[in-house]
Amino acid sequence: MREFHEQAFYNKRTREEMKDGFVKEYIRDFWDWYTDNLKTAPRLPGERWMTGYSELGARKMRNAARRGIGAYYRARGRFPDFLAPRDYTQMTLLNSIIAPMPRVIPADKLNVGEFIPEPLRDQVRPAKVHRVFDSAEALSDDGLEPGSYYLKSNHGSSHVLPITAPFAPEALKAAREAADGWLSKPFGTHSSQWWYRLIDRKIYLEEDLRETPDQPIPDFRFHVINGRVALLQLDLGLGTDNRNNPVFDGDLNYLPHNFLRDNLGEVDLPAQAGFARDAAREIGAQFPYVRVDFYLRGDDLFLGELTFLPNSGRRRIRSNELNEMLCSYWNPMPQVVAIEAVAEQQAAE
């Protein structure tokens, strides 16, 4: 693969010199590098794999790359330097643009169970999905047992609404309005998350995993890079004034640093944290990079979602020590791959 330093976009111009016009020139140079490397890139079978380039075509994928890189530029005040992995979010951004994605899209929340390796399926499962709907108007509580549920969409982030069955008229109206908003637009169009626009949008009712309504369930987020667990990011107390994001290394040693949000201090990890870490590694080994999200309830481990560009690849890692540690896992760096058309595969066979 051609080295980045052969391209003009590598660290040779500054925002002060180019202002916002730098976006077009940077993208032009980046796209020349990408398409040139496609000519000699390793080829993956099109019946199993896809890229943004193979599915959207050159023009739309170039626009997606422009939006992702431009958003990083606006948020961070500089362009990503892809020569060496000195910034974690730069590398996740590059990965989002060039890495392959399975045709069964793992970012579709209704698909996550398919990426749990067979030996783990007795111990790890997704939350139970009770109903799936194609439209907000179709949402109903017909046949649901009384109790609490979560209404979600399968194609976006933060599309979550608690709801209790039987649905009160006001609650049903509010849920349909929220769901209609989720379904009316694709997610990720202002970033390089091209895969979301390929997802067949649905809403669904999922079991409520909380043990009590006032107790947010702990969210264990494992960042897996090149088959290794690089970081555990806990999200505790979501929606409360005491939200805490302590972080741990791949050996589950506490790290006294802020990652993306405030680390308010060390907490004791549950006994099954080691198993959750190992399960995340098995799931994450299928991708160059992924954040594997688990929910732990007692002894039960639930796979929540698979995230390929956290925070749309814009937020700054708040600790230089963490950033340096995470970047050390990007070896090798994300690689350009080409997708072999199904017709080409069949002819070769």
Residues 76 and 132 in one domain: no
The answer to the question of residue 273 being in a domain is no
Residues 9 and 100 in one domain: yes
Range of the domain at 31: 4-104+332-348
Q: Is the pTM higher than 0.85?
A: yes
Please name the helix (run of DSSP H) or strand (run of DSSP E) that holds residue 283, with its range, or none. helix 273-284
The answer to the question of residue 244 being in a domain is no
Q: How far apart are CA 102 and CA 49, in angstroms?
A: 5
Q: How far apart are CA 43 and CA 46, in angstroms?
A: 9
Q: How far apart are CA 51 and CA 61, in angstroms?
A: 9
The answer to the question of residue 217 being in a domain is no
The number of domains in the chain is 2
The answer to the question of residue 269 being in a domain is no
Contact 293, 54 (CB under 8 A): no
ω before 85 within 30° of 0 (cis)? no
Q: How far apart are CA 108 and CA 57, in angstroms?
A: 21
Give the type of residue at 51. T
The answer to the question of residue 288 being in a domain is no
The answer to the question of residue 83 being in a domain is yes
Per-residue pLDDT of the chain (349 residues; tens, 9 = 90+): 666 555 555 555 565 666 665 667 778 888 988 999 999 999 999 999 999 999 999 999 999 999 998 888 888 877 787 766 678 998 999 999 999 999 999 999 999 999 999 999 999 999 999 999 999 999 999 999 999 999 999 998 889 999 999 999 999 999 999 999 999 988 988 899 999 999 999 999 999 998 877 777 889 999 999 999 999 999 887 767 778 999 999 999 999 999 988 898 999 999 999 999 999 999 999 999 999 999 998 889 999 999 999 988 888 899 999 999 999 998 888 899 999 985 454 344 4
Beta-bridge mates of residue 244: 236
The answer to the question of residue 98 being in a domain is yes
For residue range 244-303, list pLDDT tens digits in order: 999 999 999 999 999 988 898 999 999 999 999 999 999 999 999 999 999 998 889 999
| Residue 154 Cα to chain centre, angstroms | 13
Q: Is 70 exposed, middle or buried, given 0-12, 13-18 or 19+ CB atoms closer than 10 A?
A: buried
Predicted pLDDT of residue 319: 93
Residues 95 and 165 in one domain: no
